[in-house]
Amino acid sequence: MLELNTQNQIIEINDLSASKPIIIFKHSTRCSISSAALNRFEKVYANENAAEMPVYYLDLIKFRDISNLIAQHYQVEHQSPQTLLIQNGKCTHHASHFEIDLEDIKNSLTK
């Protein structure tokens, strides 16, 4: 996972999402549900080719301003934990809490 820690990375994510899907994983380090969802996601994602679908990890406690920017930019209400699938600069799928599922994300990929 790539650490998401600057607002400029949102532009990078948008640019990269024109050629491959990008996942943003928003995680609260103070929440046990968020930790459990992250752990479950990481176990499944470990079997994926990270170059084909990179994941940007956001510690939203440290970087709440970036989390707010993501919510505003992609027009998705903030949740924690939360995944957003970004394709062609738009959020095409999002999930939170125990609804976060890599297979659901993959099934949402546009061709």
Mean pLDDT along residues 80-109: 95
pTM for the model: 0.94
Rounded-to-integer distance, Cα 56 and Cα 70, Å: 12
Mean pLDDT along residues 81-94: 97
Q: What is the pLDDT of residue 49?
A: 85
Assess whether pLDDT exceeds 90 at residue 74. Answer: yes
**How much is the mean pLDDT over the chain?**
94
Q: Which of 9-13, 44-48, 94-98 has the lowest mean pLDDT?
A: 44-48
Domains, in order of start, for the chain: 2-107 (3.40.30.10)
Q: What is the pLDDT of residue 111?
A: 59
Rounded-to-integer distance, Cα 58 and Cα 17, Å: 17
Strand 2-3 versus strand 82-87 pairing type: unpaired
